Amino acid sequence: MKPISLSKYWMYKTVEKKATRDGYGEGLLELGKSNPKVVVLTADVGESTRVLPFQKKYPNRFVECGVAEQNMMGVAAGLALTGKIPFVSSYAVFSPGRNWDQLRVSVCYSKANVKIAGAHTGVSVGPDGATHQALEDMAITRAIPGLVVIAPCDAEETRKCTLAAAAHKGPVYFRFGREKTPVITVKQTPFKIGQANLCREGYDVTIIACGPLLHQTLMAAEMLAEQGIEAEVINSHTIKPLDAKTIVQSVKKTHCAVTVEEHQLMGGLFGAVSECLAKRYPVPVEPIGMPNKFGESGAPDELLAKYGMTKENIVKAALKAINRK
Amino acid sequence: MDLAIRQMEETANLIRQDVIKMIAQAGSGHPAGSLGMADVLTALYFGDEANLDPQKKHNPKRDRVVLSNAHICPVLYSALARRGYFPIKELMTLRRLGSRLQGHSNNHFDIGIETSGGPLSQGISQAVGMAIAGRMDKSPFHVWCLMSDGEFDEGQTWEAFMLAGKLKLGGLTALIDRNRIQISGNTEDVMPLEIFKKKLKAFNWKVIEINGHKMPLIIKAMRRAKNQSKPTAIICHTIPGKGVSFMENKYEWHGKAPNPKEAKQALEELSKL
Ligand SMILES: Cc1ncc(C[n+]2csc(CCOP(=O)(O)OP(=O)(O)O)c2C)c(N)n1
Ligand SMILES: [Mg+2]
């Protein structure tokens, strides 16, 4: 496997910064044009989920549900069972947080082709504080049979993810952040649901990341290289189904791993990777993520530093994993 | 009385007997609501108002039926079987391992069931979604959502009513089982709903109240419901456990199977009706 192409500027300060949710808004606009079955729903958070341009252009394919997430999920199931491809758009703490039962039964058990877009995930949501920072969404979605779970790494990947979700038959949950984060991938970077992307080759440690923290991960790999340690970096944008093949292949070479996610350390990427490796190829795995705590108000960078999700933390975790080999 | 009505009443009675046999055989299930809604389901599947046909169960223009209070699925299964969606003898597999007739209805088996239920009030939201899709496609189908009064304890139900009212979904009708019971007691003791009709009206729904055991009234109400410029709620006043003396109006029979002796007595009473 060859590493994917990345933006020439990803390492520099001049790298373009854009919120992943903006990639969602762009993807929806493309879908509006290309797929008449696509409809969009929101629960009074149209502005912050970036669905208003779609509403403006395709008002007849847009449903404003009011602040009623449980009903919104059910309405989406009904739309899907009648041939539509609905995109349910809200904050992840409420959707799938508040309407998990509706997601489980109305959508997944009923095999309804619904796409759920969870905004404002991770501590980097910042000033709004713990209540609005979704850190459990991957755990609660990953446990539902048949549901695909994706955490795209930047705005470009989120755009592609939106298109891929529409093309995928069956329910898909994908999450994005609030803040502007570096655009690492480019138009030509491949994106396929369930297929992880190799971003950097190495042989000392495998670092598996998802979401915008992929940028910190790549920076950490450069810092490790300065110490003579070559890290392999994998973008596991799809958490379920996990690309076990790519991960195991890499770990067979490196014999240790680090996972990086903006999510609780239980039930997310660390959980998925550990489950996979425990069964297929047990090696030491060190996790980066939220250590069983609620977040709080603050600036995104301050919060990521306080809860141990910086490139320096990733370097430390990599050294620890290597030591445990 | 015209022959068609008489035949439908007889069908409803056969469905009630199926319900007792199925639940007794399974050893668990929900008889009270199932017996109470037998007339409404008969009107739905055997009357002329709803466009439902087992030969055309994939027709995009078919009417949609959603059972939101899916615990009363025995009455739905019986109506479907008797209408020809699947063999009547399969009814006796209710709740058994490998059966298509699960403890709560689902859409996995292509037997004319549109979606899954169990968690109360999920059906009404899906019915709203279906009615919205119908409007988007300018498709002429009508959505009939079967509901129970206990579902109106759930916030989600009112969310769905609010959205349907806002969108003036004339393509949607809720057939509500107003049997005044739920698991733990009478609805007015557990969680009062009255003045129910006024509440529904306030959500911008057309509201029709009927005796849910009078076939001509059910049919007439359905006909009126199809021609509204907003969603219609038909409050069907029913007797839970209808037709079985020791079950009637007793909330204790919400979710309890009759033992063999009780089942025998129930069937005797029903066969004399
Ligand atoms: C969301 C949800 N909460 C609780 C239950 C458990 N439950 C099943 S039926 C029921 C009572 C509902 O009353 P109603 O539907 O009016 O009962 P019926 O008249 O059919 O006896 C309850 C609480 C459920 N199925 N779904
Ligand atoms: Mg009731």
DSSP for B175-210, please give it. Answer: EEEE-SEETTEEHHHHS---SHHHHHHHTT-EEEEE
Q: Whose CA is nearest to atom 17 of ligand 1?
A: B182
In tens, the pLDDT along A114-125 reads: 999 999 999 999
Whole-number Å distance between alpha carbons of B184 and B54: 37
Ligand 2 geometric centre to CA of B164 (Å): 22
Residue A243 in tokens = 């690309």
pLDDT of B1 > 70? The answer is no
Under an 8 A CB cutoff, do A39 and B162 touch?
no
Of all residues in chain B, the percent with pLDDT exceeding 70 is 99
What's the mean pLDDT in A142-146?
98
Whole-number Å distance between alpha carbons of B142 and A196: 45
Under an 8 A CB cutoff, do A75 and B118 touch?
no
Instruction: Please report the beta strands in chain A, taking only residues with DSSP state E, as ranges in sequence order.
Output: 17-19, 38-42, 62-64, 85-91, 115-119, 148-150, 172-175, 180-182, 197-200, 205-209, 231-235, 238-240, 257-264, 285-290
pLDDT of residue A67: 98
Under an 8 A CB cutoff, do B108 and A66 touch?
no
What's the mean pLDDT in A253-258?
98
Whole-number Å distance between alpha carbons of B213 and B218: 8
Q: Chain B residues with CB inside 8 Å of A102's CB?
A: 119, 122, 125, 156
DSSP H or E run through B237: strand B232-237
Ligand 2 geometric centre to CA of B181 (Å): 4
pLDDT of A13 > 90? The answer is no
Give the ipTM.
0.96
Q: pLDDT class for B273, splitting at 50, 70, 90?
A: confident
pLDDT of residue B65: 98
Q: Pick from B247, B177, B180, B249: which is nearest to B218 by CA?
A: B177
Cβ contact B177:B149 at 8 Å: yes
Residue-range domains of chain A with CATH: 6-13+189-323 (3.40.50.920), 17-182 (3.40.50.970)
Under an 8 A CB cutoff, do A111 and B108 touch?
yes
pLDDT of residue A1: 75
Cβ contact B148:B69 at 8 Å: yes
Residue of B64, B117, B132 with shortest CB distance to A75:
B132
Cβ contact B121:B132 at 8 Å: no
In tens, the pLDDT along A19-45 reads: 999 999 999 999 999 999 999 999 999
Q: Is B225 helix (H, G, I), strand (E, B) or coil?
A: helix
pLDDT of residue B53: 97
Cβ contact B203:B162 at 8 Å: yes
* B contact test, residue of A41, A81, A82 with most B CBs within 10 A: A82
What's the mean pLDDT in A245-252?
98
Q: What are phi and psi of B76, to 5 degrees?
A: -70, -45
In the A/B pair of chains, how many CB contacts fall below 8 A?
Answer: 110
Whole-number Å distance between alpha carbons of A318 and A273: 15
In tens, the pLDDT along A277-298 reads: 999 999 999 999 999 999 999 9
pLDDT of residue B63: 98
Ligand 2 geometric centre to CA of B147 (Å): 9
- Bridge partners of B233, per DSSP, are B174, B207
Q: pLDDT class for B133, splitting at 50, 70, 90?
A: very high
Q: pLDDT class for B196, splitting at 50, 70, 90?
A: very high
Whole-number Å distance between alpha carbons of A317 and A286: 6
What's the mean pLDDT in A158-174?
98
Whole-number Å distance between alpha carbons of A210 and A221: 15
Residue of A60, A70, A78 with shortest CB distance to B156:
A70
Under an 8 A CB cutoff, do B132 and A79 touch?
yes
What's the mean pLDDT in B205-212?
98
Whole-number Å distance between alpha carbons of A182 and A294: 25
What's the mean pLDDT in B195-207?
98
Whole-number Å distance between alpha carbons of B161 and B174: 10
In tens, the pLDDT along A218-241 reads: 999 999 999 999 999 999 999 999
How far, rounded to the nearest angstrom, does the alpha carbon of residue B107 sit from its chain's CA centroid?
16
pLDDT of A243 > 90? The answer is yes
Q: Chain A residues with CB inside 8 Å of B159's CB?
A: 65-66, 68, 70-71
Q: Is A287 helix (H, G, I), strand (E, B) or coil?
A: strand
Report the relative pairing of strands B64-67 and B143-148 from DSSP bridges: parallel
In tens, the pLDDT along B163-192 reads: 999 999 999 999 999 999 999 999 999 999
Which residue is associated with the tokens 């199809």?
Answer: B226
Contact B239 CB / ligand 1 (< 6 Å)? no
Q: Pick from B13, B66, B73, B99: which is nearest to B255 by CA?
A: B73
Contacts of A126 (CB under 8 A, 6+ apart): A178, A179, A297, A298, A299, A300, A303
Q: pLDDT class for A2, splitting at 50, 70, 90?
A: confident
Whole-number Å distance between alpha carbons of A141 and A148: 8
In tens, the pLDDT along B48-90 reads: 999 999 999 999 999 999 999 999 999 999 999 999 999 999 9
pLDDT of A187 > 70? The answer is yes
Q: How many CB atoms lie within 10 A of CB A227?
A: 10
| Closest A-chain CA to B116 | A110
In tens, the pLDDT along A55-67 reads: 999 999 999 999 9
pLDDT of residue A9: 85
Q: Which of B34, B148, B180, B251 to mutate to test the pocket of ligand 1 (most atoms within 8 A of CB)?
A: B148
Q: pLDDT class for A91, splitting at 50, 70, 90?
A: very high
Whole-number Å distance between alpha carbons of A165 and A159: 10
Residue B16 in tokens = 């009630």
Angle at B170 between CA B166 and CA B173, to 5 degrees: 100
Query: How much is the mean pLDDT over chain A?
Result: 97
- Bridge partners of B117, per DSSP, are none
* B contact test, residue of A61, A70, A71 with most B CBs within 10 A: A71
